[in-house]
């Protein structure tokens, strides 16, 4: 007899401990049950007279804890990188956990457990090598029964065993109208590289399966927003890419300077973006000194990496469906084929609902399991979300929806601002609730700082029906961005940057992108 299949789509709570499947035969009272494996394959449930039979969790799943996948699943724990690019000696490492079941975190240094913490926020001070050298720092999260819930690792002072791609060579022969690029690819020891693809804007121009990963690209007259993209693709389907604006690299004779990318939004007095300006309408100042505008373009011609963060705390109960629909609609209208996004939801803890992808179906699906429960750790979630941008270059934005009820965040507004500015990420906040409620739970100046000092904006709305309008306004701003570049002396960070519009009555908000 052919097997009988019953399919029931279900949104599981984030803290579920497993799925039990019970089958009962009408008329006989015979029934059977089993714990479902986390698998895309069908499973069997054997019927018996009141005795539960069938497959239990396999060895890999059991090692990861009841009801959890060992290889795939939500991000349970994230290590927060040190603020400084190079660290040595006694260094404090903090974590952000996304599961309330975490009871203990072990900290590892170069593969050896060196400390353990059983109290939130799960942090440890590790004795790094001095002088500084590349070292692996790891963290393993356990529940109260000793099951592994998740693990994470980062490398300090070095690249580490992660999939990475970067341009190792960039020779721009302006007279010949040709760019020669070499890509360096770091592949984890347990994975295999299939190929490296090179693109001019979104046009595939070369594919390489063996090193050297080199491409010679014809670019007779590159525009200010033209870019070269290299993509490393693994045999298991995984991939990572890197993007460089051609104007940002420039010609080889300009090695004594650094080109700085700026993304600017210009608004009228009523807050409406202005999208009709030209290069001559802008002035750039560094530490008060005027800088010539080297390049000019429109932000919408540059790929966008967008983070969408949704407050799913208990105070959002009753408007969660409207919230998810509005956020999904926003993603659908903003993202173009070359853009990517990720989704985070948060209550007491932040969770990565969907990692960086350009697949709209995956992004839409990430909203299904969101449930309104718990408290609200707003600033912790902002810091967690900024970490998801990693070392990505180009145009970025973070859009956060909250009802304003911040509760016991470990991180401060100043930390969120610092991390966002380092990553070149403007923060947009949609505050849902009446103005008195938001003022009770947030300092208005804090919201203004977090958005204004990162190049973003805050929207305060009193009714969920206004969510669409707020998202539309953000979409309009992102589509109205300008890309400006200028040179600063090499070997140092740029000074205080100010961009002004020559036309009266216009306000300019700026975020510093790649250097």
> What residue ranges define each of the domains in the chain, with the CATH number in brackets?
1-72 (no CATH), 77-156 (2.60.40.10), 300-483 (3.40.50.410)
Choose among 158, 178, 160, 161: nearest CA to 170: 178
Confidence check: pLDDT of 240 > 90: no
Give Cβ neighbours of residue 59 (< 8 Å, ≥ 6 apart).
Answer: none
Least confident range from 292-301, 429-438, 442-451: namely 429-438
| pLDDT attached to residue 187 | 81
Taking each helix axis as running N to C, give the angle between helix 413-423 and helix 378-387, from 0 to 180 degrees, rounded to the nearest 10: 20
> What number is the average pLDDT over the span 428-448?
72
> What number is the average pLDDT over the span 477-506?
85
| pLDDT attached to residue 172 | 87
| pLDDT attached to residue 434 | 62
Residue the block writes with tokens 């300009």: 254
Kind plus residue range of the DSSP H or E element containing 378: helix 378-387
Alpha-carbon gap, residue 32 to 45, rounded angstroms: 6
pLDDT band at 492 (very low <50, low <70, confident <90, very high): low
Alpha-carbon gap, residue 462 to 474, rounded angstroms: 17
| pLDDT attached to residue 137 | 93
Q: 1: buried, middle or exposed (CB in 10 Å: 19+, 13-18, 0-12)?
A: exposed
| pLDDT attached to residue 491 | 56
| pLDDT attached to residue 280 | 94
Confidence check: pLDDT of 32 > 70: no
CB distance 117 to 105 below 8 Å: yes
Cα torsion 199, 202, 205, 210 to 10°: value is 40
CB distance 55 to 43 below 8 Å: yes
What three-state secondary structure class fits 280? Answer: helix
Model pLDDT for residues 347-388, shown as the tens digit of each residue: 888 999 999 999 999 999 999 889 888 888 899 999 999 999
Sign of the CA dihedral with 269 first, then 274, 277, and 280 last: positive
Confidence check: pLDDT of 1 > 50: no
Q: 10: buried, middle or exposed (CB in 10 Å: 19+, 13-18, 0-12)?
A: exposed
Model pLDDT for residues 132-162, shown as the tens digit of each residue: 888 889 999 999 999 999 999 888 886 555 6
Alpha-carbon gap, residue 477 to 470, rounded angstroms: 11
| pLDDT attached to residue 154 | 87
Alpha-carbon gap, residue 151 to 49, rounded angstroms: 41
CB distance 37 to 66 below 8 Å: no
> What number is the average pLDDT over the span 417-437?
84
| Most trustworthy range by pLDDT among 37-41, 112-116, 183-187, 420-424 | 112-116
Across the beta sheet with 257-267, the strand order is 295-298, 482-489, 257-267, 507-512
Give Cβ neighbours of residue 321 (< 8 Å, ≥ 6 apart).
Answer: none
User: Which residues does residue 268 pair with via DSSP β-bridges, in sequence order?
Assistant: none
| pLDDT attached to residue 343 | 96
Cis bond upstream, residue 121 (ω within 30): yes
| pLDDT attached to residue 16 | 55
Q: If you count DSSP H runs as helices and E runs as strands, how many of each does the chain have, helices first?
A: 9, 29
Residue the block writes with tokens 């360096």: 184
Alpha-carbon gap, residue 295 to 446, rounded angstroms: 34
Both tokens of 44, joined, read 């069997």
Confidence check: pLDDT of 292 > 80: yes
Give Cβ neighbours of residue 417 (< 8 Å, ≥ 6 apart).
Answer: 449, 450, 453, 454
Choose among 223, 201, 200: nearest CA to 297: 223
Model pLDDT for residues 120-130, shown as the tens digit of each residue: 889 999 999 98
> What number is the average pLDDT over the span 436-446?
64
Output the pTM of the full model: 0.65
CB distance 103 to 142 below 8 Å: yes
Confidence check: pLDDT of 209 > 60: yes
| pLDDT attached to residue 461 | 85
Find the DSSP H helices in 251-349.
320-334
CB distance 347 to 374 below 8 Å: yes
CB distance 417 to 453 below 8 Å: yes
CB distance 395 to 305 below 8 Å: yes
């Amino acid at each position: 007899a052919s097997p009988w299949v019953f399919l029931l789509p279900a949104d599981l709570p984030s803290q579920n401990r497993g799925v039990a499947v019970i089958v009962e035969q009408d008329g006989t009272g015979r029934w059977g049950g089993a714990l479902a494996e986390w698998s895309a394959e069908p499973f069997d449930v054997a019927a018996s007279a009141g005795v539960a039979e069938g497959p239990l969790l396999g060895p890999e799943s059991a090692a990861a804890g009841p009801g959890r996948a060992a290889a795939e699943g939500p991000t349970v724990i994230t290590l927060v990188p040190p603020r400084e690019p190079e660290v040595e000696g006694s260094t404090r490492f903090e974590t952000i956990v996304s599961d309330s079941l975490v009871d203990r975190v072990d900290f590892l240094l170069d593969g050896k457990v060196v400390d353990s913490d059983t109290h939130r926020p799960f942090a440890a001070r590790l004795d790094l090598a001095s002088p500084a050298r590349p070292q692996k720092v790891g963290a393993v999260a356990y529940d109260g029964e000793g099951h592994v819930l998740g693990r994470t690792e980062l490398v300090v002072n070095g690249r580490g065993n992660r999939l990475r791609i970067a341009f190792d060579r960039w020779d721009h022969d302006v007279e010949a109208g040709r760019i020669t690029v070499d890509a360096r690819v770091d592949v984890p020891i347990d994975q295999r590289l299939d190929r490296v693809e090179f693109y001019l804007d979104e046009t595939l121009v070369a594919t390489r399966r063996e090193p050297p990963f080199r491409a010679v690209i014809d670019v007779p007259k590159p525009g200010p927003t033209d870019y070269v993209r290299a993509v490393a693709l693994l045999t298991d389907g995984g991939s990572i890419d890197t993007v460089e604006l051609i104007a940002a690299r420039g010609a080889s004779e300009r090695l004594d300077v650094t080109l700085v990318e700026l993304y600017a939004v210009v608004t009228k007095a009523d807050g409406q973006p202005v999208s009709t300006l030209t290069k001559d309408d802008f002035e750039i100042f560094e530490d008060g000194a005027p800088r010539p505008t080297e390049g000019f373009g429109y932000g919408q011609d540059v790929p966008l990496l967008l983070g969408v963060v949704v407050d799913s705390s208990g105070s959002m109960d009753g408007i969660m469906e409207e919230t998810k629909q509005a956020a999904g609609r926003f993603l659908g209208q903003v993202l173009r084929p070359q853009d990517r996004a990720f989704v985070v939801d948060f209550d007491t803890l932040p969770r990565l609902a969907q990692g960086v992808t350009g697949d709209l179906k995956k992004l839409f699906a990430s909203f299904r399991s969101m449930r309104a429960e718990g408290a609200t750790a707003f600033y912790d979630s902002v810091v967690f979300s900024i970490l998801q941008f990693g070392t990505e270059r180009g145009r970025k934005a973070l859009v956060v929806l909250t009802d304003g009820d911040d509760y016991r965040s470990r991180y401060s507004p100043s930390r969120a601002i610092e991390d966002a500015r380092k990553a070149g990420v403007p923060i947009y906040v949609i505050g849902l609730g009446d103005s008195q409620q938001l003022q009770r739970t947030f300092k208005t100046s804090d919201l203004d700082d977090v958005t204004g000092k990162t190049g973003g904006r805050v929207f305060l709305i009193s009714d969920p029906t206004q969510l669409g309008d707020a998202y539309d306004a953000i979409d309009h701003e992102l589509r109205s961005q300008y890309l400006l570049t200028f040179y600063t002396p090499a070997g140092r960070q740029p000074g205080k940057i100010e961009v002004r519009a020559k036309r009266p009555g216009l306000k300019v908000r700026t975020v510093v992108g790649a250097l």
